[in-house]
DNA sequence: TGACCTTTGAAGAGA
DNA sequence: TCTCTTCAAAGGTCA
């Protein structure tokens, strides 16, 4: 059987120079993508088979049937995107075949299946049996929606998870559950690094005296019969009472601890200010915004509705700045910024309403982002610029009917024969 | 997975 | 100077 650590790396993209590692921002994007992909379980619900590496397989790895590369030059950005997707799918397909081959080989090595699947006699034998395993005629199948990469039901073949197919998680690296805290793959290490970097970005406030007191007494309280099953909030209530009942002298050590903590914090982060932690994330800002009553802070039109103008303040009735919202400095600043943004844009794209009527609208007209535009275009049928359209067009090797031939040009040499 | 609950004290912002 | 708001920790609950 294959040794531990043996692996097949057919399409794993390696950075030639590790020092030329992607930036943290890129890492974050990658990690988000990886987490999304890894969150999708292996389709047949089983654990993926550990594909062995053998000289026989090595001979198989290179001349896989679909291995085309062609230059995206001359394509529109969206067509290039489609091209990338297509090439990625091609890589996945190749990996599926490689995995199937590995499974055929591994099954042959297994004492259980040896009688059913004898050793491949040659690379050609292995290849033909691999293709047979992938054939739709191979009986009921499981995994990968019954398509390419699925395996005959009841067979020892296990499809790889999407991440494994892509080379993430490592065919030889992340297949078995890790028993240590150490990241099992370079990607896991990268993910951990990203999380740690995120952690480092946030410098927490030093604890105050009461928090030092809580630290010390929470566990004591939790050991008390009466409080051991209570929730944290209840414990905090009780701790608050006890803190309140304590004499100043009893509190003194905690204030000293807090003072020391504050001093150390100031030494460690001389330029830090508590302000830095004020709603520095959108979620916290959202949370903060929710602390106001529903409708509070809204202008009269939004608060009472157009039909209840009798409830509006006199300013709103006269289309002036709402009395309820007050139109604080922050609002005015935002409005100024909004107007600047609007004026910097062409007047045709987004003209922020400047009259009081529009000013009363809750949601200003927003400019769709590039991503939103892309999505919209993807959802628009027959748009020649959408990735899916471009992909289909590429695969069909013929220009869309409504595209002029000179726009499309001759790209027949870009496609596999 | 992250908000919420609950406490006190420190810090910052704004009036 | 005063008032108001936010955040620091904990861990169960809930969406």
Look at residue A59 and tell me whether its pLDDT is greater than 90: no
Closest nucleotide (CA of A39 to C1')?
B1
* Contact flag, residue A274 CB and nucleic strand B, below 7 A: yes
Closest nucleotide (CA of A208 to C1')?
B9
Q: Does residue A4 form part of some domain?
A: no
Q: Does residue A1 form part of some domain?
A: no
Q: Does residue A377 form part of some domain?
A: no
Query: CATH number for the domain including A263?
Result: 1.10.30.10
CA to C1' distance (Å), from A327 to B15: 15
- Among A78-82, A193-197, A268-272, A391-395, the minimum mean pLDDT is found in A391-395
CA neighbor of A280 nearest in space, from A198, A212, A375, A352: A198
Q: Does residue A104 form part of some domain?
A: yes
Block residue for tokens 């099953």: A229
Note whether A185 and A260 are same-domain residues.
no
Total number of domains constituting chain A: 3
* Contact flag, residue A324 CB and nucleic strand B, below 7 A: no
Note whether A195 and A209 are same-domain residues.
no
* Contact flag, residue A257 CB and nucleic strand B, below 7 A: no
Strands (E), A42-120: none
Note whether A253 and A162 are same-domain residues.
no
Mean pLDDT of A248-253: 92
Concatenated DSSP letters for A170-188? Answer: TTTTSSSPP-SSS-SSHHH
Q: Taking the complete model, does pTM exceed 0.85, yes or no?
A: no
Mean pLDDT of A280-309: 49
Protein residue with the closest CA to the C1' atom of nucleotide B8: A210
Note whether A217 and A120 are same-domain residues.
no
Q: At what angle do helices A77-109 and A123-134 cross, to 10 degrees?
A: 110
> What is the rounded average pLDDT for all residues in chain A?
49
Q: Which residues have Cβ atoms closer than 7 angstroms to strand C?
A: A 202, 204-205, 207-208, 210-211, 214-215, 218, 231-233, 236, 274, 277-280, 284, 287-288, 291
* Contact flag, residue A137 CB and nucleic strand B, below 7 A: no
Note whether A157 and A59 are same-domain residues.
yes
Q: Does residue A44 form part of some domain?
A: yes
Note whether A275 and A307 are same-domain residues.
no
What confidence tier does A275 reach under pLDDT thresholds 50, 70, 90?
confident
Q: Which of A336, A359, A382 is the last residue of a domain?
A: A359
Backbone angles phi, psi at A220, to 5 degrees: -60, -45
Look at residue A309 and tell me whether its pLDDT is greater than 90: no
Burial of A79 (0-12, 13-18, 19+ CB in 10 A): buried
Note whether A22 and A109 are same-domain residues.
yes
pLDDT digits (tens, 9 = 90+) for A83-116: 555 555 555 545 544 555 555 444 444 433 333 3
Say what the pLDDT of residue A122 is.
54
The whole-angstrom separation of Cα A148 and Cα A143 is: 9
Note whether A123 and A208 are same-domain residues.
no
Q: Identify which has the larger pLDDT, A78 or A267.
A: A267
Protein contacts on strand B: list nucleotides below 7 Å from a Cβ: 2-15
Give chain A residues 275-304 with Cβ within 7 A of strand B: 275, 281, 283-284, 287, 290
Taking a C-beta distance cutoff of 8 angstroms, is the pair A74, A90 a contact?
no
Mean pLDDT of A326-334: 39
CA to C1' distance (Å), from A235 to C6: 22
Q: Which domain holds residue A42?
A: 18-200
Block residue for tokens 């080989």: A105
Q: Does residue A387 form part of some domain?
A: no
CA to C1' distance (Å), from A399 to C14: 54
Look at residue A373 and tell me whether its pLDDT is greater than 90: no
CA to C1' distance (Å), from A159 to B1: 29
Look at residue A243 and tell me whether its pLDDT is greater than 60: yes
* Contact flag, residue A237 CB and nucleic strand B, below 7 A: yes
Protein residue with the closest CA to the C1' atom of nucleotide B15: A328
* Contact flag, residue A262 CB and nucleic strand B, below 7 A: yes
CA to C1' distance (Å), from A279 to B13: 14
């Amino acid at each position: 059987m294959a040794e531990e650590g043996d692996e097949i790396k057919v399409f794993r993209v390696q950075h030639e120079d590790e020092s030329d590692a992607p930036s943290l921002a890129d890492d974050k994007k990658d990690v988000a993508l990886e987490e999304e992909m890894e969150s999708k379980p292996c389709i047949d619900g089983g654990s993926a088979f550990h594909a062995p590496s053998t000289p026989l397989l090595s001979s198989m790895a290179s001349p896989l049937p679909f291995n085309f590369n062609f230059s995206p030059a001359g394509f529109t950005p969206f067509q290039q995107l489609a091209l990338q997707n297509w090439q990625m799918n091609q890589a996945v397909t190749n990996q599926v075949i490689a995995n199937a081959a590995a499974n055929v080989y591994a099954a042959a090595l297994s004492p259980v299946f040896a009688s059913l699947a004898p050793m491949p006699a040659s690379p050609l034998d292995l290849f033909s049996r691999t293709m047979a395993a992938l054939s739709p005629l191979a009986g009921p199948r499981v995994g990968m929606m019954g398509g390419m990469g699925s395996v005959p039901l009841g067979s020892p073949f296990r499809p790889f998870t999407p991440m494994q197919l892509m080379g993430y998680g490592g065919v030889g690296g992340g297949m078995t559950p890790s028993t240590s805290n150490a990241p099992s793959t370079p990607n896991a290490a990268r993910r951990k690094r990203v999380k740690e970097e995120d952690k480092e970005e946030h410098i927490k406030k030093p604890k105050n005296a009461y928090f030092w007191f809580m630290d010390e007494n929470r566990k004591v309280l939790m050991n008390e019969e009466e409080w051991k099953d209570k929730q944290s909030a209840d414990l905090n209530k009780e701790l608050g009472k006890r803190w309140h009942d304590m004499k100043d002298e009893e509190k003194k050590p905690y204030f000293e601890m807090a003072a020391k903590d504050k001093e150390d914090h100031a030494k460690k982060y001389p330029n830090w200010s508590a302000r830095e932690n004020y709603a520095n994330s959108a979620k916290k800002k959202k949370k903060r915004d929710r602390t106001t009553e529903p409708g509070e802070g809204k202008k009269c039109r939004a608060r009472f509705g157009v039909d209840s103008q009798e409830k509006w303040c006199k300013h709103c009735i006269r289309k002036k700045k709402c009395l309820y919202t007050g139109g604080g400095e922050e609002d005015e600043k935002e409005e100024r910024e909004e107007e600047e943004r609007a004026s910097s844009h062409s007047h045709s794209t987004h003209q922020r309403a400047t009259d009081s009527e529009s000013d009363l609208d809750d949601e200003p007209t927003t400019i769709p982002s590039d991503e939103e535009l892309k999505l919209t275009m993807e959802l628009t049928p027959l748009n020649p610029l959408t990735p899916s359209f471009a992909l289909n067009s590429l695969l069909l090797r013929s220009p869309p009917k409504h595209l002029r031939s000179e726009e499309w040009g001759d790209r027949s040499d870009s496609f596999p024969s």
